[in-house]
């Protein structure tokens, strides 16, 4: 890595950490905010689940393209994946600013999980909660990885880009895929 790349990477590092911390903090704060006079936007979850599915497909397509040596196409797919992830996040936040969280297993849709409803779920609730918590944890964790990987590429530091992309790719793909699975598991309980 040359001196110019090091200086450029260092310039971005502060912003990467600021953004990586700010996004989860702002999202957590916005979850406590309700937009007055706005109806529940129940149409958003299937849309943002679809965006997660598209993100997974785009990530796989980007990987295929770089393996074929198509750097420009890979770059386009990666920019699209970042754009899709931003769209997902915006819709997810808007949904939660207009709607109460849906409880997994809440068959009657009253917003409370009774012992009977919980016991009816059996072991599947543990699978759901594992996927949900790992999805949430890794969705926060992947932010700096995506940003660092992207900065390494735009700075032309392809050796370091490739090295960190080997970590970023599976994390991001896991987040995208589990987002879809979590949606499919909880969708019967949306009221």
> Residue 98 sits in a domain of what CATH number?
1.20.120.80
Q: Which residue has the tokens 């295929």?
A: 64
Summarize pLDDT for 52-83 with one digit per residue, the tens. 999 999 999 999 999 999 999 999 999 999 99
Structural domain contains residue 9:
no
Structural domain contains residue 3:
no
Structural domain contains residue 24:
no
Q: What is the pTM of this model?
A: 0.89
Here the contacts of 28-36 (C-beta below 8 Å, separation 24 or greater) are 30/93, 30/96, 30/97, 31/93, 31/96, 31/97, 33/97, 34/97, 34/98, 35/97, 35/98
Structural domain contains residue 25:
no
Give the list of residues 6+ apart from residue 45 with CB closer than 8 angstroms, or none: 95, 183, 187, 190
Structural domain contains residue 80:
yes
- Residues of the domain holding 60: 41-103+114-189
CA dist 64 and 90 (Å) reads 28
Summarize pLDDT for 138-167 with one digit per residue, the tens. 999 999 999 999 999 999 999 999 999 999
Query: How many independent structural domains does the chain possess?
Result: 1
Structural domain contains residue 138:
yes
CA dist 178 and 187 (Å) reads 14
Q: Residue range 99-123: average pLDDT?
A: 86
Structural domain contains residue 67:
yes
Structural domain contains residue 10:
no
Given a cut of 90, whether residue 133 has pLDDT beyond it is yes
């Amino acid at each position: 890595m040359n001196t110019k790349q090091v200086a450029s990477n260092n310039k971005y590092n502060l912003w990467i950490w600021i953004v990586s911390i700010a996004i989860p903090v702002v999202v957590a704060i916005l979850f406590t905010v309700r937009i007055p006079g706005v109806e529940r936007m129940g149409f958003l979850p299937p849309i943002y689940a679809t965006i997660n599915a598209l993100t997974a497909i785009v990530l796989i397509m980007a990987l295929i393209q770089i393996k074929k040596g198509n750097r420009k196409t890979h770059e386009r797919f990666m920019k699209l994946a970042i754009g899709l992830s931003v769209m997902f996040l915006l819709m997810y936040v808007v949904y939660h600013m207009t709607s109460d969280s849906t409880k997994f297993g809440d068959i009657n849709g009253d917003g409370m999980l009774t012992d009977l409803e919980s016991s009816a779920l059996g072991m599947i609730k543990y699978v759901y909660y594992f996927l949900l918590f790992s999805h949430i944890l890794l969705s926060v964790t992947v932010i700096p990885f995506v940003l660092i990987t992207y900065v390494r590429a735009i700075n032309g530091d392809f050796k370091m880009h490739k090295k960190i992309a080997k970590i970023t790719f599976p994390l991001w793909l896991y987040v995208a895929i589990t987002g879809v699975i979590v949606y499919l598991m909880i969708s019967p309980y949306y009221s």
